[in-house]
Amino acid sequence: MVKDDWFFPFENKDWEKADPKAVGFNSRGLEEALNYAGEHNTTGIVILYKGRVLAERYWDFKKIDPKENVLLKQSLAFYSNMQAGKTAQGYPLEDTASVQKSLIATLVYLARQKGYINFDDPVTQYLGPGWTNTPPEAEKKIKVKHLLNMTSGLTPTLQYSAEPGETWLYNTTTFQLLVYVVANAVKKDINEITREWISGPLNMEDTKWVIRKWMPPFKDRPVVGMITSNRDLARFGLFLLTGGSWAGQSIFMNLNDVREMFEPSQKMNPSYGILWWLNGQKYFLTPADPPVKIEQPLIPSAPLDLVAALGLFDRAVFIVPSHDLVVTRLGFMGNIDPTQMETHPFFDEFWKKLTPALPKKASGK
């Protein structure tokens, strides 16, 4: 619950800071976590406690020699396309990869709140017929809710694979279509919608959507990416940590909407909410095709109530309600073995260092 001692930044220059020791953090453990992040290809990290900056660090990306590792070479080339310069304050700007899924989920919920979208409507109502590569009768069965919880039954090439709602597959292609669902429903550009509903009220001055010119379009629709900074991601995390409000202003009229995003959205993968990843479940399915079942929580060393917006190369927004905490991270993959990305070894080691440093008084919340 938000109390009077929380802080909401209106401008980057006036962001209050919290002294780790004064608010109950183990400073040594916090430094160990930050140093570990800095040594493992992190370009920026922000940690908020009750809205105040507990820690903020930036590092230059060190060149990595891929040697004969073809997959690593391809990953480095991909990452070079995702670096987008600096903010006015000199902080790195990057394409957030799939972290943007969680922001789109928030926009879709706000669109429903404003009466533009019904989750039980067929996607065809917003995109028109022919948006898949399936027969019309199969296409009409796919509803907005199926895109939100990754149960559309479509392959990444939008072919029929299963009946909607019966299987779970982490499908970035179907997610991208939600960008166009929102834009078509509201009849405005996605940047304008984001600015009016989220980035404007939260003063996320470095956030914008761009067309990824380095990626081919699908079904004549350009692929878009969200460019932003660690500080803007921290604002977004704080906004949802407080139940969808900002400095006393309720942007989400129904608090159950945020809770719904942070709960299992289907029965196949309990660690997946509405385009958010959930910790503390007995197992999770990886984003692979086909998914692999891992019999453990998403990040075993992290607090059980952690929820996460996760993107390629270990980009992340972590929200930990039990500790009033937001953590954001940008950069290249922390563990440079691309074959291990889906089990999050970097984040597990990071939280092994950070979790014991959290205030003990919050553990019973």
Burial pattern 227-253, b for ≥16 Cβ within 10 A else e, equals bbbbbbbbbbbbbbbbbbbbeeeebbe
Report d(CA 348, CA 227) in Å as an integer: 26
CA 112 to chain centre: 20
Whole-model pTM?
Answer: 0.96
Q: Tell me the DSSP string of 240-295.
A: HHTTSEETTEESSS-HHHHHHHTS--SSS-TTB-SS-EE-SSS-EE-SSSS--EES
**E strand or H helix that includes residue 105:** helix 99-113
**How do strand 92-95 and strand 208-211 relate by DSSP bridges?**
unpaired
Report d(CA 347, CA 335) in Å as an integer: 9
Report d(CA 37, CA 350) in Å as an integer: 7
Per-residue pLDDT of the chain (365 residues; tens, 9 = 90+): 556 789 999 887 789 999 999 999 999 999 999 999 999 999 999 999 999 999 999 999 999 999 989 999 999 999 999 999 999 999 999 999 999 999 999 999 999 999 999 999 999 999 999 999 999 999 999 999 999 999 999 999 999 999 999 999 999 999 999 999 999 999 999 999 999 999 999 999 999 999 999 999 988 899 999 999 999 999 999 999 999 999 989 999 988 999 999 999 999 999 999 999 999 999 999 999 999 999 999 999 999 999 999 999 999 999 999 999 999 999 999 998 767 767 899 999 999 999 999 998 543 44
- Map out the domains of the chain as residue ranges: 12-362
CATH class for domain 12-362?
alpha beta
Answer whether 57's CB lies under 8 Å from 331's CB. no
